[in-house]
Amino acid sequence: MESHGHVLAVDDNAFNRLVYRKLLEPAGHRVSEVPGGEEALRFIADDPPDVIILDVMMPGANGYEICRRLKGDPQTAHIPVLMVTALQQREDRLQGIVAGANDFLGKPVDQSDLLLRVGNAIHAKHLFDQVQRQYLELRKLEALRDSLAHMIVHDLKAPLQSLVSDLEYFRLDAAPKLTDAELGPVDAVLDRIGWVSEMIDSVLDVNRIEAGQLPLAVRRERLDATIRDAMSSLGSLARRHRIECTSACDDHLAYDVDLIRRVLVNLLVNAIKYTAPASVIRVGVSRDGAWVRTTVEDAGPGIPPEFRDRIFDKFGRVGSGQPSRLRSTGLGLAFCKLAVEAHGVRIGVEGNPGGGSTFWFALPADQPQVPAAG
């Protein structure tokens, strides 16, 4: 594909600059020219070209130095640089490559070679510009989506709180008149509203963590106690599955107890969502040297290796390994990743030999400077 663009010729020899103009302008290119490297840097700051033809041997800063400075500046690093030199030694070309040159032209300049290399460089620059514009547009759309999601979930908190108050009042008033079995559906609804409230808090906190507005409230606590608290908060949702917890570590660890509890709730809800009723979900805690590793093992369809990084993306949907099965992560796992990484550690997922997935995160075992809770 033929591409026309703006070419900057940098050469201390006026005749050479005239040759570039005479060869390139008839082909549809706009040609600007400057006699030296420092002038080129000032020109580029005001009117960035699509490609730079840069002579190597110039007074003052030579072409290698100017190329290094261009490629070292994020504002100009993407502009293709064609170095022009009469030097034919391999070391000279290697020096140009080290400086960041995109291509080379030999002297005397061949018209066909010049037009081909300039055209290719301009085409590559135009493709970069197109991708950059699309990237910025996607960033704007992502910011708009996040802002919309934030507003929606924020506005949901008030009606949910009102609904909880009404249901709790109804339950209190109806308790003497109804059996436990009859009150069961009310309790189940309250459990599910609590789960939705957790998800709303996760959405809001994802934005706060990304904006650096959610400082950690770190204290020392036993991790198995936090796990039990997370399991009990699931209410009736957990009763359809067997959740088994094993702990080989009873140390007090330093972490934000509320955030890690919500990480565990999200991992358990994710496991419940993709595990058949009555299946076993295993939560484990074990010490491995300086780290305490927590795992949540499900018996779901599993996640193919190529999707295991994307599973923590915001609003991500990845293949589950079975036809027509998609694993929708929404913001729950994105929250887990941000909350765990806010502690300076990592979270991940692995496949189980017999099927299913194991989500894990590790916390440092020894942080004596943080006081124990209580």
Q: Provide the pLDDT for residue 371.
A: 45
Rounded Cα distance between 89 and 168, Å, is: 85
Is residue 306 within 8 Å of residue 324, measured between CB atoms?
A: no
Q: Is the pLDDT of residue 65 over 50?
A: yes
Listed residue (305, 326, 304, 306) closest to 317, CA to CA: 326
Average pLDDT in the 139-160 region? 77
Q: What percentage of the chain reaches a pLDDT higher than 90?
A: 36
CATH 3.40.50.2300 fits 6-133, yes or no: yes
Supply 116's token pair: 């081909």
Is residue 342 within 8 Å of residue 214, measured between CB atoms?
A: yes
CA 71 to each of CA 36, 37, 90, 101: distance values in angstroms, whole numbers, following the listed order: 17, 14, 21, 8
Q: Provide the pLDDT for residue 86.
A: 73
Average pLDDT in the 313-334 region? 57
Is residue 183 within 8 Å of residue 168, measured between CB atoms?
A: no
Least confident of 59-68, 171-180, 198-207, 228-237: 198-207
Q: Is the pLDDT of residue 322 over 50?
A: no
Q: Is the pLDDT of residue 19 over 50?
A: yes
Average pLDDT in the 87-100 region? 77
Q: Which residues contact 99 (CB under 8 A, 6 or more apart)?
A: 63, 64, 65, 67, 68, 71, 83
Supply 318's token pair: 């990845």
Q: Which residues contact 238 (CB under 8 A, 6 or more apart)?
A: 231, 268, 272
Return the sign of the alpha-carbon dihedral for residues 306, 310, 311, 312: positive
Q: Provide the pLDDT for residue 324.
A: 35
Give the HSE-up count for residue 341: Cα atoms under 13 Å, Cβ half-sphere: 13
Q: Is the pLDDT of residue 357 over 50?
A: yes
Q: Provide the pLDDT for residue 126.
A: 94
pTM for the structure as a whole: 0.54
Q: Provide the pLDDT for residue 236.
A: 65
Is residue 13 within 8 Å of residue 57, measured between CB atoms?
A: no
CATH topology classification for 220-364: Heat Shock Protein 90 (3.30.565)
3-state secondary structure of 311: helix
Provide long-range contacts, Cβ within 8 A and 24+ apart, for 369-372: 370/218, 370/219, 370/220, 370/254, 371/219, 371/220, 372/219, 372/220, 372/221, 372/252
- If one counts every other C-beta atom within 10 angstroms of the C-beta of residue 302, the result is 24
Is residue 216 within 8 Å of residue 345, measured between CB atoms?
A: no
Q: Provide the pLDDT for residue 226.
A: 92
Rounded Cα distance between 336 and 256, Å, is: 13
Q: Which residues contact 60 (CB under 8 A, 6 or more apart)?
A: 36, 37, 38
Q: Is the pLDDT of residue 68 over 80?
A: yes
